[in-house]
């Protein structure tokens, strides 16, 4: 997790600050910036800011703050320091509490080195044991690296960095300053993404290809590569200190920053963008020929099984995909949580197509699962929302959801776009297997209709009212069967991650096997009843909850409303196969309104990050 940005050139501090702001989706527990400046001694200027740590050693200043980057920005705006070399960091805590002491950058004790880090040093404890004469000021694994750099310094900065990295186990992208090299940023990479580049009078380092500014030449570092970034130049080396001529990355299209427009939060904006996200995704793949370009027909023809892998919301989209593909195409489909897949002993057969779902394309668990699947000899496909994200370089084939940049941590429009892809994929598989290419176009017409239904559906008032009703309850249960169960799972995740209300989703028939003992008049139950085949059985399960005093909110397109329901959400009467796309929009909005009613920031829920780049 965490974001790194560094800049050599004019206005390095504001460039770096803007850079880490773009990376805030990777974590926002704390942030910090280090910069060279001989004359700028912050400790004297900053007395008014008791809470933040500022340090000045050997010509390098560090300013750090706890919480969102806007807090760091405020200080920097007041102090207005100037520098031509800076590195910055936004953190998602892995080692040590999310406080100022643990915020990056980290000095070595002698102040000769400064380090910012993405990733996890797994052997940091062992390494720390060899550094007993050093005084540490944080609990991080990163500070250990700063101390090692000073311990092993042999007079050559790059050589020392390469040597220290050879002792590390784990994942890292480092940006490093050394007090004797005020015009350079040193970079090292192993299993955490990082790019380096330069343009007219500047050099840059960034942990995300899509957040870096336009450069003349941009290089994606590979594992065990090192770079020296300067104004107008970047040099890349291997771990034998041999210079490497990396090919500059060309297909580069920095996404512009999204603005809130008239919305108060990105989450609300993104929920409102769902119809557009579906439409754009469909337009990209609305014919047999278009999907064929992404996944060749030959691959589909020989496939026996499908394995879908993802985390969180992406995993839930995969569950919907499983149901669609298994039931509509007759192909056995398994779904795995990426972090579990790695450790179970399940070896899929070679004719399994492995599909990885990831909005960001940066999720470490999912990327690890891709690597394992490739080692098993499987063909791999990524469904991702971010072009040129790390996963795109790992898989054989890429399908893009075209939801547009998703900024709120809680995934909404990307989820709908992921499901949209599964509907299209289902159609494509059937088109190939039955030699009916027109199926893809027909499916795309159905999906566009659904996008219009969502667009014209006025659900704001009722969802707001329901949010106010449930906002103070301690526990929410969500039930459904089949597709409805998967919607319940995603709905529960949405509500809990931004409202902090305990939520649990269950297959409707499973409640009575234990969980129903928790139901009483203080609990709310959301029940999804959108599938004819399971309707009656789920209604029985709802009644069981009502009998035990539970308050029930039912979402259904069937005429099943009755006085025992606390609330009834009348879903639009559409083909029930497409209900997952529609029913979830109610729960996304309810979750949003609960979070706002509780005075939380739905865009940045506590302890989370948009992109989870540690395992
Ligand atoms: O970027 P990814 O789709 O790989 O992220 C996976 C999960 O971390 C993500 O879906 C998470 O569960 C959502 N933020 C929840 O809203």
At 70-91, the pLDDT tens digits run 999 998 888 888 999 999 999 8
Closest-lying ligand 1 atom to the alpha carbon of residue 316:
10
Shared-domain flag, residues 169 and 227: yes
Task: For residue 48, tell me if it sits in a domain.
Answer: yes
**Exposure class string for 7-28: b at 16+ Cβ within 10 A, else e:** bbbeebbbbbbbbbbbbbbbbb
Shared-domain flag, residues 311 and 212: no
Q: Are 299 and 350 in contact (CB under 8 A)?
A: no
Looking at residue 210, the DSSP 8-state letter turns out to be G
Pocket of ligand 1 (CB under 6 A): 311-314, 358-360, 363, 366, 409-411, 493, 497, 611-612
Residue 362 CA to ligand 1 center (angstroms) comes to 10
Residue 358 CA to ligand 1 center (angstroms) comes to 7
**Exposure class string for 39-74: b at 16+ Cβ within 10 A, else e:** ebebeeebeebeebbbbbbbbbbbbbbbbbbebbbe
Q: Which residues contact 79 (CB under 8 A, 6 or more apart)?
A: 42, 45, 46, 63
Residue 582 CA to its chain's centroid (Å):
23
Shared-domain flag, residues 189 and 324: no
Residue 308 CA to ligand 1 center (angstroms) comes to 15
Q: Choosing from 21, 22, 184, 610, which is the catalytic residue?
A: 610
Q: Which residues contact 336 (CB under 8 A, 6 or more apart)?
A: 307, 308, 309, 344, 346, 369
Task: Report which secondary-structure segment, H or E, holds 317.
Answer: helix 312-329
Residues spanned by the domain of 133: 3-244
User: In this structure, what CATH number is given to the domain that contains residue 108?
Assistant: 3.60.20.10
pLDDT of residue 210: 80
pLDDT of residue 558: 97
pLDDT of residue 347: 79
pLDDT of residue 187: 98
pLDDT of residue 72: 92
Closest-lying ligand 1 atom to the alpha carbon of residue 412:
16
Is 610 a known active-site residue?
Answer: yes
- Report the C-alpha gap between 198 and 229 in whole angstroms: 8
Task: For residue 70, tell me if it sits in a domain.
Answer: yes
Task: For residue 255, tell me if it sits in a domain.
Answer: no
∠ CA 446-452-455, rounded to 5°: 145
Is 2 a known active-site residue?
Answer: yes
| Reduced 3-state DSSP string for 512-569 | HHCHHHHCCCCEEEEEEECCHHHHHHHHHHHHHHHHCCCEEEEEECCCCCCCCCCEEE
User: In this structure, what CATH number is given to the domain that contains residue 381?
Assistant: 3.40.50.10490
- Report the C-alpha gap between 36 and 467 in whole angstroms: 50
pLDDT of residue 47: 53
Shared-domain flag, residues 449 and 478: no
Q: Are 448 and 438 in contact (CB under 8 A)?
A: no
Q: Which residues contact 35 (CB under 8 A, 6 or more apart)?
A: 12, 13, 16, 60, 61, 81, 83, 85, 86, 87
pLDDT of residue 2: 87
Task: For residue 423, tell me if it sits in a domain.
Answer: yes
Shared-domain flag, residues 164 and 281: no
Q: Which of 209, 244, 279 is the last residue of a domain?
A: 244
List Cα–Cα distances, 475 to 20, 452, 454, 470, 519, in angstroms: 36, 34, 29, 9, 9
C-alpha atoms less than 13 angstroms from C-alpha of 510 in its C-beta half-sphere: 11
Shared-domain flag, residues 356 and 224: no
- Retrieve residue 107's tokens: 């000095």
Domain tally, the chain: 3
Other C-beta atoms within 10 Å of 321: how many?
A: 26
- Report the C-alpha gap between 339 and 541 in whole angstroms: 32
Which residue minimizes the CA distance to atom 7 of ligand 1?
312
Locate all alpha helices (DSSP H) within 89-236, ordered by sequence. Answer: 124-129, 141-151, 157-165
For the chain, count helices (H), then strands (E): 19, 25
Closest-lying ligand 1 atom to the alpha carbon of residue 312:
12
Q: Choosing from 2, 165, 206, 311, which is the catalytic residue?
A: 2
Shared-domain flag, residues 11 and 113: yes
Q: Which residues contact 503 (CB under 8 A, 6 or more apart)?
A: 475, 476, 477, 478, 492, 493, 495, 496
Closest-lying ligand 1 atom to the alpha carbon of residue 611:
1
- Report the C-alpha gap between 419 and 271 in whole angstroms: 15
Q: Which residues contact 607 (CB under 8 A, 6 or more apart)?
A: none
Shared-domain flag, residues 296 and 209: no
Which residue minimizes the CA distance to atom 11 of ligand 1?
312
Task: For residue 604, tell me if it sits in a domain.
Answer: no
Evaluate the omega torsion of the peptide bond into residue 145 and state whether it is cis, within 30 degrees of 0.
no
Task: For residue 250, tell me if it sits in a domain.
Answer: no
Q: Which residues contact 52 (CB under 8 A, 6 or more apart)?
A: 46, 63, 64, 65, 66, 72, 75, 100
Task: Report which secondary-structure segment, H or E, holds 408.
Answer: none
Full-model pTM? 0.83
- Report the C-alpha gap between 203 and 128 in whole angstroms: 33
Shared-domain flag, residues 495 and 579: yes
- Report the C-alpha gap between 255 and 599 in whole angstroms: 31
Task: For residue 611, tell me if it sits in a domain.
Answer: no
Q: Are 116 and 206 in contact (CB under 8 A)?
A: no
pLDDT of residue 53: 66
pLDDT of residue 253: 55
Which residue minimizes the CA distance to atom 16 of ligand 1?
410
Q: Give bridge partners of residue 217 from the DSSP assignment.
A: 198
Q: Are strands 202-206 and 195-199 parallel, antiparallel or unpaired?
A: antiparallel
Shared-domain flag, residues 147 and 210: yes
Closest CA to 88 of 138, 41, 19: 19
Burial class (CB in 10 A: 0-12, 13-18, 19+), 598: middle
Residue 111 CA to its chain's centroid (Å):
34
Q: Which of 456, 486, 507 is the last residue of a domain?
A: 456
Residue 299 CA to ligand 1 center (angstroms) comes to 28
- Retrieve residue 572's tokens: 């639009």
Shared-domain flag, residues 560 and 581: yes
Shared-domain flag, residues 427 and 499: no
pLDDT of residue 52: 59
At 207-224, the pLDDT tens digits run 988 888 888 899 999 999
Instruction: Compute, in degrees rounded to 10, the torsion defined by CA atoms 288, 289, 293, 299.
Output: 50
Residue for token pair 């280090």: 34
Residue 480 CA to ligand 1 center (angstroms) comes to 22
Burial class (CB in 10 A: 0-12, 13-18, 19+), 422: buried
Dmax (CA) of the chain? 80
Q: Which of 428, 456, 484 is the last residue of a domain?
A: 456
Residues of the chain with pLDDT under 50: none
Task: For residue 615, tell me if it sits in a domain.
Answer: no
């Amino acid at each position: 997790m965490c974001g790194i940005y560094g800049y050599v050139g004019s206005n390095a501090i504001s460039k770096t600050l803007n850079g880490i702001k773009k990376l805030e989706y990777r974590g926002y527990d704390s942030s910090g910036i280090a910069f060279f400046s001989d004359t700028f001694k912050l400790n004297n200027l900053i007395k008014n800011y008791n809470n933040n740590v500022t340090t000045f050693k050997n010509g390098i200043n560090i300013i750090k703050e706890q919480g969102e980057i806007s807090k760091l920005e405020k200080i920097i705006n007041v102090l207005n320091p100037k520098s031509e070399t800076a590195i910055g960091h936004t953190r998602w805590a892995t080692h040590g509490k999310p406080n100022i002491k643990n915020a990056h950058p980290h000095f070595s004790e002698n102040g000769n080195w400064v380090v910012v880090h993405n990733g996890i040093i797994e052997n940091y404890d062992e390494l720390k044991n060899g550094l007993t004469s050093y005084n540490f000021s944080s609990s991080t694994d990163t500070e250990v690296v700063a101390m090692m750099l000073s311990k092993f310094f042999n007079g050559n900065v790059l050589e020392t960095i390469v040597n220290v990295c050879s002792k590390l186990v784990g994942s890292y992208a480092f940006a490093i300053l050394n007090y004797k090299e005020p015009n350079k940023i040193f970079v090292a990479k192993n299993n955490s993404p990082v790019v380096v580049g330069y343009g007219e009078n500047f050099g840059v380092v960034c942990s995300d290809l899509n957040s870096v500014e336009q450069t003349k030449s941009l290089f994606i570092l590979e594992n065990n590569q090192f770079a020296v970034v300067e104004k107008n130049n970047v040099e890349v080396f291997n771990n034998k200190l041999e210079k490497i001529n990396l090919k500059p990355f060309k297909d580069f299209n920095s996404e512009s920053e999204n603005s809130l427009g008239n919305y108060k939060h990105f989450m609300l904006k993104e929920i409102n963008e769902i119809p557009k996200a579906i439409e754009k995704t469909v337009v990209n793949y609305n014919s047999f020929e278009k999907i064929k370009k992404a996944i060749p027909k030959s691959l589909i023809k020989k496939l026996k099984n499908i394995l879908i892998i993802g985390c969180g919301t992406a995993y839930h989209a995969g569950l919907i995909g499983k149901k669609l593909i298994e039931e509509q195409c007759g192909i056995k489909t398994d779904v795995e949580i990426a972090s579990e897949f790695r450790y179970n002993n399940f070896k899929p057969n070679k004719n399994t197509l492995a599909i990885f779902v990831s909005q960001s394309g940066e999720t470490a668990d999912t990327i690890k699962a891709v690597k394992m699947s490739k080692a098993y000899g499987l063909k791999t496909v990524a469904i991702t929302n971010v072009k040129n994200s790390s996963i795109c370089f790992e898989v054989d084939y890429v399908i893009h959801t075209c939801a547009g940049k998703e900024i709120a941590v809680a995934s909404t429009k990307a989820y709908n776009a992921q499901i949209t892809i599964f509907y299209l994929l289902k159609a494509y598989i059937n088109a190939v297997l039955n030699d009916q290419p027109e199926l893809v176009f027909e499916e795309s017409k159905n999906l566009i209709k659904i996008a219009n239904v969502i667009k014209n559906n006025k659900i704001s008032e009722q969802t707001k009212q329901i949010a106010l009703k449930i906002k103070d309850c301690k526990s929410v249960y969500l039930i459904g069967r089949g597709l409805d169960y998967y919607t319940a799972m995603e709905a529960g995740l949405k509500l809990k991650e931004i409202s902090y209300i305990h939520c649990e989703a269950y297959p409707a028939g499973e409640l009575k096997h234990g969980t129903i003992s928790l139901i009483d008049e203080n609990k709310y139950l959301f029940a999804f009843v959108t599938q004819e085949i399971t309707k009656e059985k789920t209604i029985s399960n709802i009644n069981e909850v009502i009998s035990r005093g539970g308050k029930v909110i039912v979402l259904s397109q069937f005429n099943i409303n009755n006085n025992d329901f606390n609330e009834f959400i009348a879903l639009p009467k559409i083909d029930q196969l497409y209900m997952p796309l529609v029913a979830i929009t109610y729960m996304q909005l309810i979750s949003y309104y609960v979070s706002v009613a509780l005075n939380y920031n739905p865009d940045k829920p506590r302890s989370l990050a948009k992109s989870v780049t540690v395992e």
